Structure 1
Amino acid sequence: MGRHLMLAGLQMFTSADSITPAELAVAAEQRGFESIFFPDHTHVPLGDGTSGYSGHDVPVYYRTVLDPVVAMSSAAGATATIKIGSAVCLVTQRDPIILAKQIASIDRLSSGRVLLGVGAGWNDEEMRNHGADPAGRFRLLRERVEAMSAIWMHEEASYHGKLVDFDPMWSWPKPVQRPRPPVFVGGGGPNVLRRVVTFGDGWMPFREGTDQIGDNLSGDVEDFESELARRIVELHTLAEESGRGRLPVTLFNGCPHRSALDRYRDIGIDRVVFWLPTAGYGPTLDTMDALAHLLR
């Protein structure tokens, strides 16, 4: 597809009533998709019903989504080549020692196919229910990723931060991918690119919108794409100045249109992930077939 290779992946809020993670991953692998991603919400606080972070403001699939670690495990066990990822895992709401073992176990059992998308979260009450202070979530995210990386990389791992602190420990298995599974930092805030360069292996920005597959674009894409292009250049500059080399960009919720895909390729997107509606087996395969046709 031209001078720049762009990978294509899928994401879905799988639930007890939708296509299963294993079925989704097998179907995606059969259709040539490079990756499959699963999101993370442990629960949705009800709140008081007022506008804001209340559970009344989010779609039903936020309430019913399967656990991403379990979904990734199921998908990995049913497939052979497709990469299995999180988009994004709310590390601020998960114990880093346990999560490090879980991710390393999936990477080991999948022969090194894990892509770990991470985020700090946006629902303050959800974080508080896990004992996390929303005001310090970005520092907590960094320290937990760094702590997990220490566990993955060293036989005797220790970490001493302000929010995460442990003395030398043994923890196996180690991931197949060395020094660690790729960590993609999600978000679009003013400081996200520095977070990517500091503790990530790539950036995962998010595109708003629910476009259907076809040729007609909807929404104001020009402002988003011009800003995205500018920030990709900024990311590459920051990474080069920091000695990190080129860090890839995975666009989450890519617009499913040929013209959009051409533009993404031109501005340097490395992977585009399409958001699938939460649905049953048949409708999901229909959507995947349409996306596979679009990519061809």
Structure 2
Amino acid sequence: MKFGIATFITDEGIRPGPLGAALEERGFDSLFIAEHSHIPASRESPYPGGGELPRVYYRTLDPFVALTAVGAATQNLLLATGIALVPQRDVIHLANEAASLDVVSGGRAALGVGAGWNREEMRNHGVDPKTRGALMGEQLAALKEIWTKEQAEFHGEHINFDPIFAWPKPVQKPHLPIYVGGESKAALDRLAKYGDAWLPRAQTRAAELNRVRQWLADQGRTDVPFTIFGAGPSRTALDGYAEGGVERVTFLLRTQPESETLAELDTLAKVAQDAG
């Protein structure tokens, strides 16, 4: 298995450039970073992790800006969103941002995507939480049109535009990979239809990984690699991921100042080396 890092990059933790350099020096192959555009001051949506919403959710840097800084400090690291909240983004701007990252990094970008959970945040972007899944499906289809066609157009219920010119195109062909996050039926349907890789969370066990792989094969998708998002250092869990045929595991890295981050990365690199 390959090993990467999943984290929140904020204004209070290690800077993106030094983080990227430290990951590459320690043999990690990828960085997946989270995003929230904002957190509404009045929020009814419960935090999926339970309890109070962690401070890092309030302070995330824009992922494409942060990943560009990481790319400038690295040579080979995969630069990925984990996850971009696609329904909250304008699809044409998103196509441009992701393709631009792929260009400036020399073809090292990946777009991890999800529908999101914070309903108040969505509404502030003009998104109806009830239809965000259908919107996201059209957005992913439209992204592929924009990335692969000289003149792209899309006509759906939620996304509609006449032929456009939109450059840059991604370096990777046919386009940068789309990693679909989530384990729900809707997420898996989205994966089968639009995804290039699956990004399940750390609690997903070998039996479920194998079940989803068989289900994908039944859909004619035998080409979908799995990357675990935000795992802990448990050797038992890592063995389970290997049993489930996982391509990559990303360890969840706490958001801390540089010295504390480097010490934690040393520990995680040793775990990866022992597991590998």
Shorter-normalised TM-score: what interval?
Answer: over 0.9
Shift of 1:51: 7.4
Secondary structure class of the residue paired with 2:185? coil
Secondary structure class of the residue paired with 2:161? strand
Secondary structure class of the residue paired with 1:293? helix
- Structure 2: runs of 5 or more not aligned: none
Residue in 2 that maps onto 1:52: 46
Residue in 2 that maps onto 1:25: 20
Q: Is the 8 A contact 1:197 1:238 kept in 2?
A: no
> Taking structure 2 as the reference length, what is the TM-score of the superposition?
0.93
Q: Is the 8 A contact 1:205 1:251 kept in 2?
A: yes
User: What per-residue deviation string (whole Å, max 9, x for no partner) do you get for residues 159-209 of structure 1?
Assistant: 11110011111111100111111101111223322211111111111125x
Secondary structure class of the residue paired with 1:79? coil
Q: Is the 8 A contact 1:21 1:71 kept in 2?
A: yes
1:73 equivalenced with 2:50 (yes/no): no
Residue in 2 that maps onto 1:161: 156
Q: Which whole-Å CA distance do the structure 2 matches of 1:292 and 1:155 have between them?
A: 43
Secondary structure class of the residue paired with 1:191? helix
Q: Is the 8 A contact 1:254 1:275 kept in 2?
A: yes
Secondary structure class of the residue paired with 1:57? coil
User: What per-residue deviation string (whole Å, max 9, x for no partner) do you get for residues 265-285 of structure 1?
Assistant: 011111111111110110000
Equivalent residue in structure 1 for 2:126, among 131, 155, 171 = 131
| Letter paired with 2:115 | A
Shift of 1:46: 1.2
Q: Which whole-Å CA distance do the structure 1 matches of 2:38 and 2:58 have between them?
A: 6
Residue in 1 that maps onto 2:104: 109
Residue in 1 that maps onto 2:10: 15
Structure 1 residue runs of 4 or more that deviate by more than 6 Å after TM superposition: none
User: What per-residue deviation string (whole Å, max 9, x for no partner) do you get for residues 121-141 of structure 1?
Assistant: 000000000001100111111
Residue in 1 that maps onto 2:116: 121
Equivalent residue in structure 2 for 1:237, among 202, 205, 214 = 214
Identity %: 41
| Letter paired with 1:294 | V
Residue in 2 that maps onto 1:100: 95
Secondary structure class of the residue paired with 1:172? coil
Cα 1:282–1:243 shift into 2, 3 Å: same
User: What per-residue deviation string (whole Å, max 9, x for no partner) do you get for residues 233-277 of structure 1?
Assistant: 333233333333231111111121223212210111111111111
Secondary structure class of the residue paired with 1:253? strand
RMSD of equivalent CA atoms: 1.7
Q: Is the 8 A contact 1:72 1:84 kept in 2?
A: yes
Q: Is the 8 A contact 2:31 2:78 kept in 1?
A: yes
User: What per-residue deviation string (whole Å, max 9, x for no partner) do you get for residues 198-227 of structure 1?
Assistant: 11111111125xxxxxxxxxxxxxxx52xx
Q: Is the 8 A contact 1:194 1:238 kept in 2?
A: no
Residue in 1 that maps onto 2:242: 265
1:249 equivalenced with 2:226 (yes/no): yes
Shift of 1:231: 3.1
Secondary structure class of the residue paired with 1:263? helix
